[in-house]
Amino acid sequence: QVQLVESGGGLVQAGGSLRLSCAASGRTFSSYSMGWFRQAPGKERDIVAAIIGSGRPTYYADSVKGRFTISRDNAKNTVYLQMNSLKPEDTAVYYCAADNFLARLRSAPAYWGQGTQVTVSS
């Protein structure tokens, strides 16, 4: 069982930056692929970025390439999403997710956090 808790969301002006954190419980954190998803009101929950256990990013959504960076610190059981050059279109609830298999993480992750709100004003 994996417990995930997101933090770092808030209100920021367009062009600003935020860093989201996801703290995970469990002794096997380094074996899990991790991802960030986001969901705007009335829309589907979409994947933003994914990273495998060794720390190599494997996916970024086209809408965030060059602006967002996913990383992890396995010693701290934490995954991060650094968000730069934020746009109003980035406004959403951001969720952390985990799965033992990268392919399943992309489609239907086994574990979810509660989410953290990110609001970008124009």
Tell me what pLDDT residue 25 has: 92
Buried b (16+ CB within 10 A) or exposed e, 77-105: bbbbbebeebeeebbbbbbbbbbeebeeb
Tell me what pLDDT residue 70 has: 98
Tell me what pLDDT residue 27 has: 81
Tell me what pLDDT residue 122 has: 93
pLDDT tens across the length of the chain (122 residues):
899 999 999 999 999 999 999 999 978 899 999 999 999 999 999 999 999 999 999 999 999 999 999 999 999 999 999 999 999 999 999 999 999 999 999 999 999 999 999 999 99
Q: How far apart are CA 97 and CA 117, in angstroms?
A: 15
